[in-house]
Amino acid sequence: GCRAHSKDRGAGRTSALNHYRAAPMAIDVPFRSDRGFDALYGLEVTHASQELMRGRVTVRDELRQPAGLVHGGVYAAAAESLASTGTALAVLPEGKIAVGLSNQTSFLRPITEGTIHAEATVKHQGRTTWVWEVEISDDAGRLCVLTRVTVAVRDIPHLPGDARESV
């Protein structure tokens, strides 16, 4: 992933990782993030488990590319967020984090209005990687996008000043 261009790269990350450690391993649905990229494009999680994630995004002008179609990045972002969140529900209690490793998205049919519906199903739950298939459909239930997301499972990094270092 990208790192901030700051002299103190660890600032802010320690509190974010401590938040992950303390977070409950369930999500009350529907859930809509109030910050970060998911909030920017409007992902709402409607079902959350380690095997199945569902979400939706309401189409609006800001999400369309110049030809009037929903931008492909919206689909890829929603797929990766659902897959990473589903993986995190399982691995955070084990002291692990879930981060996107690869995202392969195929656009089959455009969506221009209404709601984007995404359903992510886990296909592989390994020690270091999970693989998810994400089907994205329109309001008519037509398959519009297929995405395969691979999520890396890693130990939560030890950061300077982390309480675990003194144990």
Instruction: Kindly list the catalytic residues.
Output: 80
Print burial letters for 56-81: b (CB count within 10 Å at least 16), e (below 16).
bbebeeebbeeeeebeeebbbbbbbb
State the Cα–Cα distance between residues 105 and 47, nearest whole angstrom.
22
Q: How many CA atoms lie within 13 A of 133 on its CB side?
A: 5
Q: Which amino acid, one-letter code, is at 98?
A: A
State the Cα–Cα distance between residues 151 and 80, nearest whole angstrom.
8
CB 51 within 8 A of CB 15: no
